Chain A
Amino acid sequence: MIPAAFEYYRPKDMAGVLSILEEHGDDARVMAGGHSLIPMMKLRMADVPHLIDLQDVGGMSDIEISSDSIRIGALVTQAEIIDHADLAKVAPILREAALQIADPQVRYMGTVGGNVANGDPGNDMPGLMQCLDAVFTVVGADGERDIPARDFYEAAYMTAREDEEVLTAVTIPLPNGGYAYEKQKRKIGDYATAAAAVQIVKDGETCSSVAIAMTNLSDTPIYSEAAGAALIGTAVDAVALDAAVAAMLGDIDPSEDNRGPVAFKNHVAGVILRRAIERAWSRA
C-alpha cells in the first residue's frame, strides 16, 4: 500500500498554511496526526497532491479551561484528552469517549481537530461535540469564523468548512450534570456499530435539560433534539426513555455494512441510547 506522490509542506504558522491552501485549492489538504488521511492515501482512495502538515503551527495544542468554557486546540490528541486531569473533572465525557476511540498508538497521534474536521461518519468526536454544543473555529483567508458543531456536518466527508479553511479549535460550554458515552463496536479499533453521547441535568427529580447525539447511524452525526425533548420535564422513567428512543430512531438513518443490517442497527441504537441515558441520569 503505497500512496501516490505528493508535495509536502510543514509551515510554521497559519498564514503559511492558508497561502498554500489558497494556491492549490482542493488539491491541497491539511493533516494533523494523519491517522484518518494516511490510510486513505495508501489505499489510493484519497488523492492529495499537496499535503500540509500542521504539526509546527503553534497555538493549536492547548487545552484551556475557563469559568464557562473549554477551548481545545485542533492539534490536541486523544491521548492528551485522556491524560488531562482537570479536563476529566470538568468534562469527564470527553475522557470516557476518547478511551473508546481506536487504540493506544492511534490515540497518541489522532487529534480532536482531525477527528471532527474530516466529516467521517464513523468518528466519535463529531457526535460528542454536537452533544456538548461545541463551536468549531475555522480560519481562512477572510479570517476566523465559528460554526456550531450542530450545523457543521452536511453529509459524509462534507462539512461547513470550506476547502481553504482550517479548523483550529473546538470550544465547549462547560457541561453540567450527568454524562455518558456509550459505544458498541466489534473490537478495539473499530468504528461504532452504534454510539450515543448524553449529557443530562437533573433538577430535583426531573430532567431539566439534556443533549443527545448519535454516532455512525447516518452519514453525519445526529444531534437528536427530539430525543432530548422527550426527556425534559420527566423523571426519566420507562415511558420517557421509550419516547426518547422512539424520537431518536426517527432522526437516524443507518445503512447496512459489515456490522449488520439496518434493523439491527436501529435496535442497537435504541439499546445503546437507553443505556447511555440511564448511566448519565445515574450520574446526574
Chain B
Amino acid sequence: MKDEVTREERVDNLKGMGCSRKRVEDARFTQGKGNYVDDVKLDGMLFGDFVRSPYAHARIKSIDTAAALEVPGVLAVLTAADLEPLGLHWMPTLAGDKQMVLADGKVLFQGQEVAFVVAEDRYAAADGIELVEVEYEELPVLVDPFEALKSDVVLREDTVDENGKATDGAHGPRKHPNHIFTWDAGDKEPTEEVIANADVVAEESMYYHRTHPCPLETCGCVASMDKVNGKLTLWGTFQAPHAIRTIVSLISGLEEHNIRVISPDIGGGFGNKVGAYPGYVCSVVASIVTGKPVKWIEDRMDNLMTTAFARDYWMKGKISATPEGKITGLHCHVTADHGGFDACADPTKFPAGFMNICTGSYDIPTAYLEVDGVYTNKAPGGVSYRCSFRVTEAVYFIERMIEVLAIKLDMDAAELRRINFIKKEQFPYTAALGWEYDSGDYHTAWDKALKAVDYDGLRAEQAQRVEDFKAGKTRKLMGIGLSFFTEIVGAGPVKNCDILGLGMFDSCEIRIHPTGSAIARLGTISQGQGHATTFAQILASEIGLPADSITIEEGDTDTAPYGLGTYGSRSTPVAGAATAMAGRKIRAKAQMIAAYLLEVHDDDVEFDVDRFVVKGAPEKFKTMKEIAFAAYNQAIPGIEPGLEAVSYYDPPNMTYPFGAYVCVMDIDVDTGVPDIRRFYALDDCGTRINPMIIEGQVHGGLTEALAVALGQEIAYDDMGNCKTGTLMDFFLPTAWEVPNYETDFTVTPSPHHPIGAKGVGESPHVGGVPCFSNAVQDAFRPFGNMHTNMPHDHWRIWKTANDLGLHG
C-alpha cells in the first residue's frame, strides 16, 4: 500500500496528546443542547422540595402537615417519622459520621431539611412548603468552634453516653461532646524542640474563612423507581456516580445491580457535587412511595446555605529558621469547623484531607500538624472546593507562613522561597509529614516566573511607590503577591486512599469497532473539564486511531466501569492512567494481529504513530484501522476475536503538580478597592495533553481564587443566620472584575504516571488564593502589616490600612 502522507501528518491526523484539539462537547453546549439534570423530564414526574429550618439550633416540638396536604397537587409530605421505619431518617456521611436526612427531633443549622413536600409541580410544592407548620423551641446557638469546645451545650446527642460523657468518634476519642476528632501527622516533640531552640521563629494565626464552590448549576436529581422491574434509575449532579450507586444500595437495601445512576452533563462541580445529600435520599424514597419519578433541584439559597461549604479552618502556625533563612521546623494546629455533621468528602483515613502537605514546596526537616474537628451550628460540608482534599488550606498556610517569616527575617520573600525549595536532585522527596513527592524542578520554575515579570523591577517600582505614598503624592499602594505551590492530587493509591471502603482506583474500558473507530468508557465524569476531548487524545496517541474516531463516555453506571469519580484533580492522574494502560493492552493485542498479518514474529513489528511496521522495513506495515478490521474478520490462531480492553488503575503514588504565580495589585488605601494590574501563572502539570484546555483551566481556577481571596464567603451572624444566601452577597466575579491572565509552563513529567501527566484543574485555585492574598498583604508590609485574614473585601482592606494608621 502506497503511503503519501508524511509521518508528521500522520501524527497531526491523530490529534493526540500535546495538541490543542477543539472540544467535542462544545457543539451541543453552544446550541443549547446540553443535557443537564434539570433537563430530564419523565412522564408523570413529580417535584420534591424541602421545608427548611429558619433556626440554627432548635428542638422540633411538632410538625403539622395537614394544611400542606390540602394544597391541590401536593401528594405527600415526608418527615423523619416517615423515614425512621425504613432506617433512612439518618444517613452515613463520607467522613464516618452520620447526618439527618430530615430533622430528627432537632435542627443543627439554618436551612436544615425538616420535611420533604412532594407535589405534581414545583408550584404546588412551593405552596405546600409554606403551609407545613413546624413548632420550634430555640436552643443556644454555637457558631464559634472555640466556644463550642468549651460550651455546656451539647449539639449532638449521639456524641455522649448516658452519663453525659463524650463517646469515641469515627477517628478516636473526643475531647468534648462537640469535638469530632483529633488527627495528627509528623513528630510532635522534635518539632517543638527545634522551634524552641531556633534562632528565628515566626508565629501567626490565620483564619481561612468558610466559602462555597457554588457551581452555576445547583445540585439536583431525578429518581425513578420502576416497580414492575424492581429497578431504580437515578439521574443527578454526581461527581462520583459509581460511589453514589453503592451508597444508595447500602442505605436503601436495593441490590446494586438494580440501581442505575446516571450523571448527565454537569454544570460545574468544584467539589459541591461529591457528597450525598438529603435531597437524593428523599427523592428516592418519594419515588419508591409514589411509584412515580421525583425531581429535586436546589435553588441557589438552598445550595449556598446547605450543601457543601468549603474551608473554615482556623490555623495556628510556628515556623523556625536559621538567621540566614534556612527553615528548620514547622508546627501547625488547626481548629476545623465542620458544622452540624461531619460531612467532609475526604479519603477515610484522612479526616483533615491532605492538610499534611502543609510543608509545601520546601525542604523542612521537622514538622508537626494537628487538626481538631469541631461541631457547630452551621451547615455541614467541608468539601474540596476546586482542590485536592484540604490542599488549598495547606498551601495557603505555608505560603503565608513563608511571608511572615520573610518579614521576621527582613528578607525578600522570593529569595526566602528560593533558598528553601526542595532541590531537583532531592526528588523523589519524602516530606517531614510523610508524603513522597514524585518529581519537581522548583528553582527552574521560580526563576522563569521572576524573570518573566521582571521581579526586581517590580520591587523597585514598589519601593518608589512607598516613597511617593509617604510623601503624599499618591494614595495607592502596590502589592506584589508571590506564591509557589505544590499540589498533591490523583487520589489515590488504594493502600491508603478509600471512600467508604471503596479503593480510589479508576478505570477505562475500550472497545475498538471493526472499522477502526472506538468507544472508551471511564469511571470518572466531566463537569466541564473536557474529558470527551482529552481522554480521546490520550487514547489516540496510545492506540493510533484518530481522536475524532473515539467516543468517550462517562457517567452511566450501567455501562461505565467502576470508578471513584472526578474531584481532587484525579481524573487525569488516575483515569487518564487507566486509559493509557487500557490503550496499551489494545496495542499489545494489535501487535500480535499485525505480526500475523505481516507474517513475521511478534517481536519483529513495532508501533509507529498509527500502525505497526516491520522493524527495518517501514514500507511493510498494517495500520491500526486495518488491524481493527482484522480483529473482527479473521480467524487468527491463538488470538480471540475482537479488540477490547479494560484497565483498573491503582496509582503507585499521588502526582505533585506545582507552579509559580505572581500578582501585581494596586490598592486604593482610602476605599479599600484593589485593582489587579497583572497576574502571571506558571504551571507545571507534567505532560501536557491539551494546552488549550490547560490554559482554560488555569483561567478558571485563578478566577475562583480571586473570588475566594477578595470577597467570597459564607458568613453567619451570632444567631447562626447565614448572611450570604444569594448572589447579591455571595461574591461571584463578573467579566468586569476579572483581569487578563498571563499563562506559562514548565514540564516535569510524573515518573510513575504512564504518560507523565499530573493534573491541572485545581492547581490555579490552590496557588491562586495565596497569591492574591499575598499581594494585598505585601502592599501593607512596608507599613508593618504581618497578616490579615481573607476575604480581602473592600472593608477588610480598608481596615488593614486603618489599623496601620494610613488614614491619617
Contact = CB atoms under 8 A, between A and B. Distances in A.
B736 A260 contact: no
A1 interface: yes
Interface in B635-682: 670-673
A184 B802 CA distance: 18
Determine which residue in B299, B672, B727, B736 has the highest number of CB atoms from chain A within 10 A of its CB, and name it: B672
B130 A44 contact: yes
B459 interface: no
Interface string A261-284: 101100110011000000000000
Contacts of B122: 2
Contacts of B715: 258
A184 B794 contact: yes
Contacts of A272: 671
A258 B724 contact: yes
Interface string B116-141: 00000011011100100000000000
Given A184-B794, A188-B734, A271-B671, A258 B723 contact: yes
Contact of B807 (A43, A189, A190, A267): A267
B737 A259 contact: no
A274 to B, nearest CB: 9
Interface string B170-208: 000000000000000000000000000000000000000
Nearest to B673: A184
A88 interface: no
Given A186-B731, A186-B793, A260 B127 contact: no
B711 interface: yes
Given A258-B715, A268-B671, A103 B794 contact: no
B50 to A, nearest CB: 13
Interface string B768-804: 0000000000000000000000000111001100100
A5 B733 contact: no
A188 B670 contact: no
Given A184-B673, A186-B793, A264 B736 contact: no
Contacts of A1: 299-301
Contacts of B671: 184, 268, 271-272
B794 A186 contact: yes
Contacts of B158: none
B795 A261 contact: yes
Interface string A137-173: 0000000000000000000000000000000000000
B728 interface: yes
B729 interface: yes
Nearest to B723: A258
A187 B795 contact: no
A4 to B, nearest CB: 7
Interface in B730-777: 731, 733-734, 736-737
A264 B798 contact: yes
Nearest to A272: B671
A272 B794 CA distance: 14
Interface residues of B, number: 32
A118 interface: no
B488 to A, nearest CB: 33
B706 to A, nearest CB: 11
Contacts, number: 67
Contact of A188 (B724, B736, B793): B736
B798 A268 contact: yes
Interface in A38-56: 43-44
Given A258-B724, A267-B670, A267-B807, A188 B798 contact: no
Interface string A206-226: 000000000000000000000
A193 interface: yes
Given A1-B299, A1-B301, A264 B799 contact: yes
Given A4-B130, A5-B127, A258-B723, A190 B798 contact: no
Nearest to A261: B795
A187 B301 contact: no
A189 B734 contact: yes
A2 B711 CA distance: 29
Contacts of B795: 193, 259-261, 264
A190 B728 contact: yes
Contacts of B793: 186, 260
Contacts of A191: 728
Contacts of A103: 734
A71 to B, nearest CB: 32
B187 to A, nearest CB: 43
Nearest to B796: A260
Determine which residue in A5, A103, A260 has the highest number of CB atoms from chain B within 10 A of its CB, and name it: A260
A263 B798 CA distance: 10
A20 to B, nearest CB: 24
A53 B589 CA distance: 71
A258 B712 CA distance: 11
B729 A260 contact: no
Nearest to A191: B728
Contacts of B125: 2
Contact of B729 (A5, A258, A263, A268): A258
Nearest to B798: A264
Contact of A267 (B301, B723, B798): B798
A50 B402 CA distance: 62
23 contacts: A1-B299, A1-B300, A2-B123, A2-B125, A2-B126, A43-B301, A184-B794, A186-B794, A187-B736, A188-B734, A188-B737, A189-B728, A191-B728, A193-B794, A258-B724, A259-B794, A259-B795, A260-B798, A264-B794, A264-B799, A268-B670, A268-B671, A268-B798
Interface of A: 1-2, 4-5, 43-44, 103, 184, 186-191, 193, 258-261, 263-264, 267-268, 271-272
Given A188-B736, A189-B728, 10 more contacts: A2-B127, A4-B127, A5-B123, A5-B127, A184-B673, A186-B711, A260-B794, A260-B798, A264-B795, A268-B798
